[in-house]
Amino acid sequence: GAMTEVKREVFGQMPQEEGGGVVEKFILKSDSMKVEILSLGCIIAALETKDRDGEFSDVVLGFDTLEGYMKKHPFFGAVVGRVANRIAKGRFTVDGKEYQLTLNDGPNSLHGGARGFDKVLWSPQVLPNGVCFFRLSPDGEEGYPGDLKVWVTYTLSGGELTINYRAQTSKTTPISLTNHAYFNLAGQGSQDIYNHEISIEADSYLPVDDTKIPTGACWCCSSCPGEVAAVQGTSFDLRWPVDLGKHLQKFHLDGFDHNFCLQQAQARRLVARARHPPTGRAMEVHTTQPGIQFYTGNNLDGSLKGKGAIVYPKHSAFCLETQNWPDAVNKPHFPNALLQPGEEYNHTTWLVFNTA
C-alpha cells in the first residue's frame, strides 16, 4: 500500500512543577487516516478517518492544547499503567511481600495511580511508519516493585493503527497496559453514541461490585471459577451487533463499564466491532490480550470543554480497552498479571477503520 508519512512538531511545554520538558506531537498519515500522538502519556490526541463519502472526521475525544491535558481529565487517549483498570484496596502480595499503591478511585487504585503512565513524558523515536515511545518506570514508582522498562509503538498502515506494548522488569511486578481512547464514530463532539452498533466476541464477562471490582467469594480452585458469568441471556450478550441506544433502553442500563473475557490465545483475533450506520464508519479491534473493557462514557458530565470548545456529555463516547482482567493480581484463577525478571511482556492491539 501507499507509504505512511510521519511528521513531528512541538505541542507545548510542561509546567515547571511537572518537571518541565517539551511535549511533542507526532502526525502519522496514510491515504485513509491521520493520527496525532503526543509524547505526554503516549496520548492519541486525534484520529481522523473517512466516512462513506470520503469526508474526514476526528473520532477521538481530547483537547486542542496541552493545557487541557494538564488538568484533571478521564485519561483521554492515554496509555495507562503500570496496571490498567482497578486493583482492590490498592494492595497485592508478590513473593510474600505486600505492596500498597496510591488509592485514587474510592477504595481502589486505578490506572497506575496518582501519577501513572498517562501523566509523564516519554522518549520518542521516529520510525518509517510510526513512532516508538520509551520510559523507565523506577522501582517504587506509585508503590510498584522493580525498574520497569516500557516501549509503546504506534504504526500506521492504510486504515490500520497498530499499538504494541513491551516491557521488562528487574523485580516481579504486575503489569497490564492499554490505551484509553474515547471514540465517537460520528465525530468527536457528537452528542451521544446511541446510534452506534456494537459487538464484542465474548462468551463471558466479569460482574462487579459497587466499586467496580470483580465480585465472587469463591476462589478455591480453577474448577470453581468464582464470578466469570456467561453473557448468554443477559444484557452483556453482545456477540451479535446491538443498536446501543435501544439496547441500553431495553435493559434499563446506565451504561457499560465491564471487562469482557476473551478467548485465551496469544494470537491476533478480532474481538470487537463498532459501526456508525449514518456515516458508514466502522472500527474493528483485534488483539492478543485476554480481556477488553467496554466503557460507555458514563462519567462524562458535560463539564469538560474538549476540542473546538465542545463539551462532552454522558454517553458521548465509548472505550474498548484491551487489557488483562481487573484486579487479576489478586485473583489467582484470572489470567496471569505478573511479569518476572528475564521475561518480556509483549501485547499488540490493532484498530482497523473502514466504511461498511
Active-site positions read 180, 321
Tell me what pLDDT residue 1 has: 52
| Below-50 pLDDT ranges, the chain | 217-225
Tell me what pLDDT residue 225 has: 44
Secondary structure string (H, E, C) spanning 261-314: ECCCCCCCEEEEEEEECCCCEEEEEEECCCEEEEECCCCCCCCCECHHHCECCC
Give 295's strand partners.
257, 319
Question: Annotated binding residues, as ranges?
Answer: 85-86, 180-182, 257
Give the distance from CA 330 to its chain's centroid. Answer: 21
| Residue 137, burial from CB neighbour count under 10 angstroms (0-12, 13-18, 19+) | buried
Tell me what pLDDT residue 223 has: 44
Domain boundaries, the chain: 5-355
Give the Å distances, CA to CA, from 294 to 91, 106, 285: 24, 20, 12
Residue 194 near residue 66 (C-beta atoms within 8 A):
no
Tell me what pLDDT residue 332 has: 87
Secondary structure string (H, E, C) spanning 327-349: CHHHCCCCCCCEECCCCCEEEEE
Tell me what pLDDT residue 208 has: 87
- Candidate CATH numbers 3.40.1710.10, 2.60.120.510, 3.10.20.30, 2.70.98.10; the one for domain 5-355: 2.70.98.10
Residue closest to 321 by CA, chosen among 294, 350, 348, 339:
294
Tell me what pLDDT residue 236 has: 97
Tell me what pLDDT residue 216 has: 59
Total residue count of the chain as it appears in this document = 356
Tell me what pLDDT residue 215 has: 81
106-111 contacts: CB < 8 A, separation 24 or more? 106/211, 107/211, 108/211, 108/212, 108/213, 109/83, 109/142, 109/143, 110/85, 110/86, 111/75, 111/80, 111/81, 111/83, 111/84, 111/85, 111/180
Question: Annotated binding residues for beta-D-galactose, as ranges?
Answer: 85-86, 180-182, 257
Interval 327-343: pLDDT, tens? 999 998 899 999 999 99
